[in-house]
């Protein structure tokens, strides 16, 4: 901190050297436990010519790379909305990818070049997709974001919808096992599904007790 009595100002020459190294030198550097990765030609290609959804939006953070499956379908609207909120109208998206690469090694935890990192944070208003994962169930999606209230509300809504749809599908499948001719499907109300599953399990337990 500049206000600390222990603060020692870094000489301008040293700051310029560090900035140049972080920008121009593609090889990673290591100092103690802190290290940066080597930047490859493929990294540069992805900045200017992204080939998929992940490469296009990865400046936002932990963007889904697998475009197949239910999780991607759930996360896609969130990522595109975050991009809409994060990218200034006057700023090409490749600039943000460039700053993300040379500023933080395409990482959400590293800082390769403080000046470029801070510039990217300023342009994007620090909007970031920190993490997404399923926890206790395959439909228990947890999303961590940093952004506006609208972004957080959308993430919460996606979590709730993903859990509700997955839970109803799970209940319907369990009912189908006990009663192959059931009229209940994953489109039924969750309360009706739970009630029907409890009824069938009670009947099944009663039959087993007489055997």
Residue 88 has pLDDT above 60, yes or no: yes
- Percentage of the chain exceeding pLDDT 90: 41
pLDDT tens digits along 186-196: 877 788 888 88
CA distances 160 to 55, 58, 130, 187, 188, Å, are: 27, 25, 18, 16, 17
Residue 52 has pLDDT above 70, yes or no: yes
Q: Please give the Cα distance from 80 to 190 (Å, whole number).
A: 30
pLDDT tens digits along 157-185: 999 998 888 888 888 888 888 888 888 88
In degrees and rounded to multiples of 5, residue 17 shows phi and psi of: -65, -45
The pLDDT, as a whole number, for residue 172 is 86
Rounded to 10 deg, the angle between the 93-104 and 114-124 helix axes is 140
Of 156, 136, 135, give the one whose Cα is nearest residue 144. Answer: 156
Split at pLDDT 50, 70, 90, the class of 8 is: low
Alpha-helix runs per DSSP H in 34-113:
41-48, 53-57, 70-86, 93-104
Give the predicted TM-score (pTM) of the model. 0.75
Of 158, 177, 167, give the one whose Cα is nearest residue 137. Answer: 167
In degrees and rounded to multiples of 5, residue 206 shows phi and psi of: -65, -45
Q: Which residue has the higher pLDDT, 24 or 64?
A: 64
Mean pLDDT, residues 115-122 taken together: 93
The pLDDT, as a whole number, for residue 7 is 55
Phi and psi based region of residue 6 (left: phi greater than 0; alpha: psi -120 to 50; beta: remaining): alpha
Residue 31 has pLDDT above 60, yes or no: no
Residues with Cβ < 8 Å from 194, sequence gap 6 or more? 171
The pLDDT, as a whole number, for residue 128 is 95
Mean pLDDT, residues 68-85 taken together: 93
Side-chain half-sphere exposure of 163, counting CA atoms within 13 A: 15
């Amino acid at each position: 901190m500049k206000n600390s009595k222990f603060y020692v100002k870094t000489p301008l020459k040293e700051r310029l050297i560090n900035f140049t190294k972080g920008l121009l030198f593609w090889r990673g550097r290591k100092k103690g436990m802190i290290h940066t990765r080597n930047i490859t030609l493929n990294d540069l290609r992805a900045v200017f010519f992204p080939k998929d959804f992940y490469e296009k939006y990865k400046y936002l953070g932990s963007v889904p790379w697998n475009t197949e499956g239910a999780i991607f379908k759930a996360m896609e609207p969130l990522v595109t909305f975050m991009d809409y909120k994060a990218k200034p109208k006057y700023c090409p998206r490749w600039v943000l990818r460039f700053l993300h690469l040379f500023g933080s090694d395409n990482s959400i935890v590293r800082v390769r070049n403080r000046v470029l990192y801070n510039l990217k944070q300023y342009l994007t208003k620090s909007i970031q997709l920190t993490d997404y994962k399923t926890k206790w169930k395959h439909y228990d999606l947890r999303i961590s974001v940093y952004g506006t209230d609208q972004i957080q509300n959308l993430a919460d809504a996606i979590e709730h919808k993903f859990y509700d749809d997955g839970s109803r599908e799970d209940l319907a499948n369990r009912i189908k096992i006990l009663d192959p001719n059931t009229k209940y499907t994953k489109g039924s109300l969750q309360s009706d599904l739970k009630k029907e599953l409890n009824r069938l399990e009670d009947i099944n337990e009663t039959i087993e007790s007489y055997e």
